Amino acid sequence: MEVGNVFIYITVILSAFTSLVHSLRISNKTYIEIQGKACFRRMNGTHQIGCSSETKGNVGILYHITGDNDTEWLLKRGPNKPYIVLLNSLQFKLDFIKKLKNSGKVNGIIVIHVLQNETLTPFPPEGFSPDSSCPNDRYGLYHEDKNYGNCQNVTWNPVGHGMMFEDFDKFPIFVVINQTEVDILIEDCYEKYNKPLPDGSVREYPLCAVQLKDTMSGAKDAKTCYRRTQVPTNLNPDTYCDPLGDHNVIATIKAVPNQDVYPNNSVIVAAARLDSFSMFENIYPSADNHVTGIVGLLAAAEALSKYKDDIINNNDTKDILFAFFQGEAFDYIGSSRTVYDMQHNVFPMVEEKGKSTLHLVNFSHVSHFVEVNQLGYRDDGKVWLHTDPLSQINTQTSKEIDKMIQLIKSVADNMSLGIGENSRSQPLPPASVQRFLRKEKIPAVVFSDHQHSFTNKYYNSRFDIAKAIEASTNDSDIITEQAKNLTRISTMLARTLYTLSTGQDAPQDMKSSESIVNDLLFCFLISRQCEMFRRVLDDNDNKNLDESSLPYPFYVSVTSTNNQVTYLTKRLLSYFIGDRVNNTKDNCKQSGSNKVNQYYWMQGEVNTTTNKRQGFCSKSTAVYTLAQSPLFDQDDYNWNIDEYSAWTESSWQTDSIQMRIFLVPSKHLETVTLSVGVILTVVFMTLTYFINMKADVLFSQRRTRRY
C-alpha cells in the first residue's frame, strides 16, 4: 500500500472519530438525561398489558398538573400539543389517565414517587392497588363456581382498579423516584420555560420538551410472541418475549433416603409466596403483601429447628415441608407447577445440577396444608383463619379442619394471641393453596390479617412499604412493633406445626427470635446490606450486596434471570433448619450419600475477638424446584383453556428505555430554519452543477514546455 493511501485512510478514520466526538458533545449539550422507571409490557394467553412508546419515543411539552385548574387549562386552552404530563401520586388514577390519553393532547405521563418526601408523594388515603378487585380469580379454586366465582361472596381487594391490566399502547408512563430528577423536571424545565403566566397566557418559545422512549418487542398475546421467539430466523434470532418464572424454594425437616416412600397423610405443607408485581420496573416493595408471610414462615422454621430431633427421630411423626412459591402474583405460577409435578410424580424435581433428587411427594402424602398470607395489618388486632367451604362438604376433611382450628386456637390462647375464625361459608382469599384444592380436598388453613376484604389498602402497589406497616427503622438493632407482633405469630405457627407433626404439645420455650424477625424485615424491606444476608451468603456474593443498599425487587421476572430473593430465601431456610458440619469450603458438597442433603458454604457470624467471619458448611434439604407454567413445556397445549397461566414479559433493547428533556424552538423558527436550509441546499447544488460542467476549464493545468 502506498504511503499516500495510508495517510488518506488515517485521515478518514481520525475525521470520523472527531465527528463522533463532536456529535456526542452536541448531544450532551442538547439533551439532559432523566433517570426513571418505565412501565413495560407483559402478555398473557389472551392479550397484552402495560406500556410502550413509538419506536423513536414519544415527545411532548412538559406540563405539571397540580390541581383541577391545571387540568382544565391543559384540556381547554393548551395550544402546544402534544404534552407530556407530570403528576403526583394522588392524581395517578385510572379514570384520570384514560381522560388524559383520550383527550388527544397528551403523549405520555411521568409520575412523581419520592418516598423520602411525602409532600411530593403522599399516600392516597382511600388506598391504591393496580391489581384487580378479585386477584387471581381466573386461575383460582372458585373461577366457575356459581356461588363464589368472581368474588361474589367477598370482594377481596375493593380498592383494586385493575390499572396493571390495562393496555397503554404507544402511551409511555414513567415514574421518577429521585428528588434531584424531580427538581430538574419541575424547576429547570417546567417552571423555567413552560409554566403559563399568571393570567393564563402561554409562555413564549423556546419551550422544554420531554422524550419518553419505551419500545417493546413483544405484542398481541403470549401465544403469538412466544411462537415468534421459538421460530429460528437466522443465526442470531430475535427474542420477542420470555416466559415469567423462576424457582420455588422447598425444604423438609426429615432427610428421607431416596429409595424410601412417604406413607399416606404423612407430610404437612407450610407455605408462603415470594413475589409481587408493579407497573414499574424494579419497584416492588410489598411489605404486608407477602414479606410478612415470608418472614413469619422463616422465623417459624428457625424456632422449630431447635426441636427438629423430636420429629426426625420418631417414625410416627409427620414431616414438615416448607414451601415458598414464586410467581404467585401472576395467576399462581409456582404453586401451579408444583401441583402439575405432583400429579406426574416428579415433585420435587430438583433444578440444581449435580445434586440428587428428593424423595417423591404427591397428594396422597399431604395430610395438612398451612399457608401464611398477609400479616401486617391485623383486623381487630387478630390473626384470621380462612378455610375452604367446598372442601368441607367432605366429612373427613371437615373433621380435620375442625381439629386444626381448635389446635391453633388452643396454642394462641396459651400465648394470649388474638385469633379470629371466619365463617365456614366464606371462601378462601387469594392463596397458593387454591391450586392444590382444585385437585384434592386437603385440610387447609390460611393465616391472614383480614377477616373479610383486605386490610392492606395498597395491595401489589408501590405504597406497600415498611413504613406503612410500622417496620421502618434506620437501625437494624431497634426492634420495631411489627417485628414484635410477627414474632408472636411465628411462634404460634411453629408450635402449631410441631403439634400437627408429633401429636404432642409444643415445648413452652419454643419461641421465634425477635432479633431475627427484625433483621429479616430490615433485610427484605430496608437494605440488602444487612447482617443476616451477609451471614448466609458465600464470600463471593458480597459484591452483589455492595452494589446497592436498596432492597432486592420481589418481581418474579423471566426464567432466564437469577432472582436474588429466591436465592436468599433458600440460603436463609438452610441456615435456619440445616446442620453445621465440619467441612471445609472446598469439600462443602454432596459426597455420594443417599440422604437428601444439600451443602452450602456460608460466611457466618462475626467473631467479636478476631472481627472476622467464621465461615461454615450448612447441610440441609433446602433446594429449588421449577416455577414455570407447565404449558411452556407442552408443544400440543391447548391455549384456549384456563388450566395454567401463560404470562410472558416483552423483551427490549438496552437503549429502548430512555427519558430526556430538551428545548424546542417555535414552529415559526423551525419553518425559517428549514426554509433557509432548503434554499442553501438548492443554491449550492446549482453552483456545484455549473462548476462541474466547467471543471475542464476552471481546473485545467497549463503544460510546461520542455526544451
Domain limits, the chain = 31-240+655-664, 246-628, 667-696
pLDDT at 117: 64
pLDDT range class, residue 357, cuts 50, 70, 90: low
Residue 702 pLDDT > 60: no
CA distance 182 to 138: 39
Nine-digit cell at 59? 415527545
| pLDDT at position 255 | 84
Question: CA-CA distance, 81 to 689, in Å (whole number)?
Answer: 42
Only one residue has cell 392516597, namely 124
Residue 236's CB is within 10 A of a number of other CB atoms, namely 6
Q: Decide which of 250 and 688 is more confident.
A: 250
Residue 625 has pLDDT above 50, yes or no: yes
Distance between start and end Cα atoms, the chain: 36
CB 449 within 8 A of CB 503: no
Residue 287 pLDDT exceeds 60: yes
Average pLDDT of the residues in 84-106: 96
Residue with the bigger pLDDT between 178 and 675: it is: 178
Rounded distance between C-alpha atoms, residue 443 and residue 437, angstroms: 9
- Distance, CA of 88 to CA of 111 (rounded, Å): 6
Helices (H) and strands (E) in the chain, counts: 17, 26
- Look at residue 19 in the predicted model and tell me its pLDDT: 43
Angle at the Cα of 100 from the Cα atoms of 94 and 103, rounded to 5 degrees: 135
Q: Could you report the per-residue pLDDT of 427-466, keeping only the tens digit for each?
A: 999 999 999 999 999 999 999 999 999 999 999 999 999 9
Pick from 155-169, 219-233, 682-696: least confident: 682-696
What value does the mean pLDDT of the chain take?
89
**Amino acid in position 47:** H
Which residues are CB-contacts of 381 (< 8 A; sequence separation ≥ 6)? Answer: 418
Query: For residue range 503-544, what is the model confidence (pLDDT) as tens digits?
Result: 999 999 999 999 999 999 999 999 999 999 999 999 888 888
Please tell me the predicted confidence (pLDDT) of residue 284.
85
Q: Which pLDDT belongs to residue 29?
A: 62
Specify the residue for cell string 493545468: 701
**Beta partners for 421?**
385
C-alpha 432/C-alpha 139 separation (Å) is 11
The answer to whether 203 and 191 are in contact (CB under 8 A) is no
| Spatial CB neighbours of 131, under 8 Å, sequence gap ≥ 6 | 157, 160, 162, 164, 277, 459, 460, 461
- Residue 13 pLDDT exceeds 60: no
How many angstroms separate the most distant Cα atoms in the chain?
Answer: 127
| Residue 597: exposure state from Cβ atoms within 10 A (0-12, 13-18, ≥19) | buried
Where residue 592 falls among pLDDT bands split at 50, 70, 90? low
Q: Which range has the top average pLDDT, 198-202, 411-415, 636-640? A: 411-415
240 touches 650 (CB < 8 A): yes
Going by C-alpha positions, the residue among 243, 258, 469 that lies closest to residue 377 is: 469
The residue among 199, 264, 247, 346 whose CA lies nearest residue 573 is 247
| Residue 27: predicted pLDDT | 46
Number of C-alpha atoms within 13 angstroms, CB side, residue 427?
25
Three-state DSSP at 598 gives strand
Amino acid at 114: V
pLDDT at 359: 65
Whether the pLDDT of residue 647 is over 80: the answer is yes
CB 305 within 8 Å of CB 389: no
* d(C-alpha 707, C-alpha 705), whole Å: 7
562: Cβ contacts below 8 Å, ≥ 6 apart: none
Which tens digits make up the pLDDT trace of 232-243? Answer: 665 556 789 999
Residue the block writes with cell 416455577: 627
Q: Is the pLDDT of residue 245 over 70?
A: yes
DSSP bridge pairs for 148: none
Written as one letter, the residue type at 127 is G
For residue 384, pLDDT over 70 is answered with: yes
Query: Which of 65, 118, 59 has the alpha carbon at shortest distance from 84?
Result: 59
- Region 613-618 average pLDDT: 94
Phi-psi region of 148 (alpha: psi -120 to 50; beta: other; left: phi over 0): alpha
| Cβ–Cβ under 8 Å, residues 145 and 210 | no
**CA Rg value for the chain:** 31
Which parts of 82-230 are beta strand (E)?
83-87, 106-112, 167-168, 173-176, 207-214
Q: Distance (Å, rounded) from C-alpha 500 to C-alpha 438?
A: 23
Lookup: cell for 128: 391504591
Give the chain's length: 707
- pLDDT at site 9: 43
Q: How many CB atoms lie within 10 A of CB 612?
A: 10
Mean pLDDT, range 210-231, rounded to an integer: 90
DSSP string, 408-421: HHHHHHHTT--EEE
Question: Whose CA is closest to 440, among 265, 204, 583?
Answer: 265
| Percent of the chain's residues with pLDDT above 70 | 89
What per-residue confidence (pLDDT) applies to 23?
43
pLDDT for 235:
57
**Can you tell me the distance from the alpha carbon of 487 to that of 68, in angstroms, rounded to the nearest whole number?**
46
Mean pLDDT is lowest, of 66-80, 470-484, 599-613, for: 470-484
Is residue 591's pLDDT more than 80?
no
Class in CATH terms, 246-628: alpha beta
